[in-house]
């Protein structure tokens, strides 16, 4: 029977994992209850909780093409344009409810890209990767698992290919082949949601050539497989989470995380290997995954919704909401945010069916969308900081507001209106601080820049995918250089 886990069941399922996690130089014994990690677990838990809300069921759940049963959309293989559009709406919905990275999209995008690529490899080489993959997918859907889609290798010297690096482990590679499987070594960097995942799905990070055959591998492992170590990434202001539930954390409930995931001679059984030295399919896997994940940046539209709401609120608290320049700035924020939404809906609406039956979003429009994401959240954040004013970074702590000695001064001098408690003003400022320069800025800003590929990666794809000949032909015909079908 398929289960549709709820938040509590998800949390309990994580407690069963034996992850080897390090943070601040020490082993984290209780990952789920760690105060710094827990908000990120809460954010993934929201992907489970919302699947149980009747008003969001249509967006958050789907029908498995394998079993016909209801599943969480994060484990679904897109069966039509409608599924792709709902995926974008799901991203915005969850972004607007958590105001951070909810981490589960990467695995969904890896599953969909592999459904296409394993099918294509089999067509060319007569292999059985797709059969293996579908069996694995059935297991993921059946148990409603969260998968970490692991693509980004450390990459070492950028001017050298994987096989030419001074240290072979700088790209994930096979170190031993056994009758029952392979042994791999390497690492994946910046892994979103890694320690909140049940599974890790590894993919190559760039186009591989023949000399890189040992690096052209894709496979899945349980996240607590022997030989995997997680080293947590730091975030700006992360230790505020150690101060208890004070409003200084800005977002009281949710957060994201990234980690460096090290694979030290890890065994992978053959049934979990989905690409093995077929270097000529690495580009396909990378590009399809990238297009899906660039669409997934619908999440930033949801976070933008929260930031715009916060900017409007602080403008009202400050008594500045009727100033024409403030109104115009809010309009600009909305314009930019909805333009982002246009992009992730458009690349979904222009999706097409691949030979495997999976629907792929439009690659060109997905890249254009992600290129906008590398810019617009920064501008939205700039305007939010403009409207918020300097107090966002100079206001005293929640403890000062609560202090029997100085609390009355903070209360008195940071009060703007008699109908707005000072605490409310400070809370909304801390939220803006969190999204634009605190822990959530990792997801809203830097990840918008570099996640799913840095800006230049999209520009290369845009240059490759636009139909320049078609544009030139139209121009040349209309000015009479070439003959076309025009009426005379």
From ligand SF4, Fe ion, none, which one binds at residue 362 (CB under 5 to 8 Å depending on kind)?
A: none
Q: Is 297 an annotated catalytic residue?
A: yes
CA 105 to chain centre: 5
Q: How big is the site for ligand SF4, counted in residues (CB under 6 A)? A: 12
Question: Cα(338)–Cα(328) distance, rounded to whole angstroms?
Answer: 15
- Phi, psi (rounded to 5 degrees) for 14: -70, -35
In the complex, least distance from residue 192 CB atom to ligand SF4, rounded to whole angstroms:
5
> Which of helix, strand or coil describes residue 231?
strand
Choose one: 228-236, 361-369, 431-439, 445-453; the region binding Fe ion (CB under 5 A).
Answer: 445-453
Q: Does 301 bind ligand SF4 (CB under 6 A)?
A: no
The residue from 112, 115, 296, 436 that contacts ligand SF4 (CB under 6 A) is 296
In the complex, least distance from residue 302 CB atom to ligand SF4, rounded to whole angstroms:
8
CA dihedral sign, ordered 164, 166, 167, 171: negative
Residue number with CB closer to Fe ion (154 or 451): 451
In the complex, least distance from residue 107 CB atom to ligand SF4, rounded to whole angstroms:
9
- Which segments of 226-375 does DSSP mark as H helices, in order? 282-296, 299-317, 324-349, 363-373
Strands 181-192 and 173-178: antiparallel
Give me the catalytic one of 61, 65, 100, 105.
105
From Fe ion, ligand SF4, none, which one binds at residue 287 (CB under 5 to 8 Å depending on kind)?
A: none
Residue number with CB closer to Fe ion (255 or 329): 255
- 29-38 long-range contacts, CB within 8 A, separation 24+: 31/195, 35/241, 35/242, 36/232, 36/238, 36/239, 36/241, 36/242, 37/195, 37/196, 37/232, 37/257, 38/241
Give me the catalytic one of 147, 237, 299, 347.
299
Rg, Å, the chain Cα set: 24
The contacts of residue 254 (CB under 8 Å, 6+ apart) are 39, 40, 42, 43, 46, 98, 99, 100, 102
Q: Is 347 an annotated catalytic residue?
A: no
> Which of helix, strand or coil describes residue 253?
coil
Choose one: 210-218, 280-288, 395-403, 451-459; the region binding Fe ion (CB under 5 A).
Answer: 451-459
- Which segments of 406-451 does DSSP mark as H helices, in order? 407-413, 422-437, 441, 447-450
From ligand SF4, Fe ion, none, which one binds at residue 297 (CB under 5 to 8 Å depending on kind)?
A: ligand SF4
Q: Is 299 an annotated catalytic residue?
A: yes
Both tokens of 14, joined, read 């994580």
Give me the catalytic one of 101, 237, 344, 395.
101
Please name the helix (run of DSSP H) or strand (run of DSSP E) that holds residue 384, with its range, or none: helix 376-388
Please name the helix (run of DSSP H) or strand (run of DSSP E) that holds residue 136, with its range, or none: helix 129-143
Q: What is the pattern of x (binds Fe ion, CB under 5 A) and - over residues 389-408?
A: --------------------
Give me the catalytic one of 199, 278, 433, 447.
447
Q: Are 102 and 95 in contact (CB under 8 A)?
A: yes
Q: How big is the site for Fe ion, counted in residues (CB under 5 A)? A: 1
Q: Are 116 and 360 in contact (CB under 8 A)?
A: yes
The residue from 348, 451, 453, 461 that contacts Fe ion (CB under 5 A) is 451
From ligand SF4, Fe ion, none, which one binds at residue 103 (CB under 5 to 8 Å depending on kind)?
A: ligand SF4
In the complex, least distance from residue 365 CB atom to ligand SF4, rounded to whole angstroms:
16
Q: Does 444 bind ligand SF4 (CB under 6 A)?
A: no
In the complex, least distance from residue 188 CB atom to Fe ion, rounded to whole angstroms:
13
Q: Does 196 bind ligand SF4 (CB under 6 A)?
A: no
The residue from 14, 140, 299, 346 that contacts ligand SF4 (CB under 6 A) is 299
Annotated active-site positions, please?
A: 101, 105, 192, 258, 293, 297, 299, 447
Give residues in contact with ligand SF4 (CB under 6 A): 101-103, 105-106, 192, 296-297, 299, 443, 447, 451
């Amino acid at each position: 029977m398929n289960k549709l886990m709820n938040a509590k069941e998800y949390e309990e399922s994580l407690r069963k994992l034996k992850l080897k996690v390090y943070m601040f130089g020490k082993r984290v014994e209780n990952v789920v209850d760690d105060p710094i990690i827990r908000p990120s677990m809460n954010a993934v838990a929201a992907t489970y909780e919302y699947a149980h809300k009747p008003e969001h069921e249509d967006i958050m759940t789907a029908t498995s093409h394998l079993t016909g049963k209801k599943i969480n959309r994060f484990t679904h293989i897109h069966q039509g344009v409608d599924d792709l559009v709902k995926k974008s709406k799901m991203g915005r919905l969850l972004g607007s409810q958590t105001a951070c990275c909810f981490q589960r999209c990467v695995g969904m995008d890896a599953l969909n890209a592999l459904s296409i690529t394993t099918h294509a490899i089999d067509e060319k080489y007569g292999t059985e990767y797709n059969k293996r993959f579908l069996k694995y997918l059935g297991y993921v859907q059946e148990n409603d698992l969260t998968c970490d889609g692991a693509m980004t290798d450390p990459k070492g010297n950028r001017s050298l290919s994987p096989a030419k690096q001074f240290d072979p482990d700088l790209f994930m590679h096979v170190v031993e082949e056994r009758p029952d499987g392979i042994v791999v070594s390497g690492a994946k960097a910046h892994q979103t949601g890694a320690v909140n995942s049940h599974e890790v799905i590894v993919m190559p990070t760039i186009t591989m050539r023949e000399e890189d055959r040992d690096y052209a591998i894709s496979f899945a492992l349980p996240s607590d497989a022997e030989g995997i170590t997680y080293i947590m990434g730091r975030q700006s202001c992360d230790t505020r989470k150690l101060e208890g539930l004070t409003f200084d954390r800005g977002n009281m409930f949710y957060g994201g995380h990234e980690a460096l995931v090290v694979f030290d001679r890890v065994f992978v059984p053959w049934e979990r290997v989905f690409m093995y030295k077929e270097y000529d399919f690495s580009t396909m896997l990378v590009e399809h995954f990238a297009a899906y994940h660039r669409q997934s940046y619908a999440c930033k539209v949801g976070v933008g919704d929260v930031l715009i709401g916060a900017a409007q609120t602080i403008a009202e608290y400050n008594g500045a909401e009727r100033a024409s320049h403030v109104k115009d700035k809010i309009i600009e924020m909305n314009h930019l945010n909805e333009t982002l939404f246009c992009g992730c809906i458009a690349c979904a609406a222009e999706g097409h069916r691949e030979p495997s039956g999976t629907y792929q979003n439009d690659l060109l429009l997905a890249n254009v969308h992600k290129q906008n994401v590398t810019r617009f959240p920064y501008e939205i954040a700039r305007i939010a900081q403009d409207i918020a004013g300097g107090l966002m970074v100079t206001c005293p702590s929640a403890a000062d507001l609560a202090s029997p000695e100085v609390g009355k001064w903070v209360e008195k001098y940071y009060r703007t209106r008699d109908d707005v408690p000072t605490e409310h003003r400070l809370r909304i400022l801390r939220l803006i601080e969190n999204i634009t320069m605190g822990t959530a800025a990792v997801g809203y800003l830097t990840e918008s820049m570099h996640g799913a590929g840095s800006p230049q990666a999209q520009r290369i794809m845009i240059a490759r995918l636009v139909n320049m000949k078609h544009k030139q032909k139209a121009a040349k015909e209309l000015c009479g250089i070439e003959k076309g079908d025009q009426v005379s």
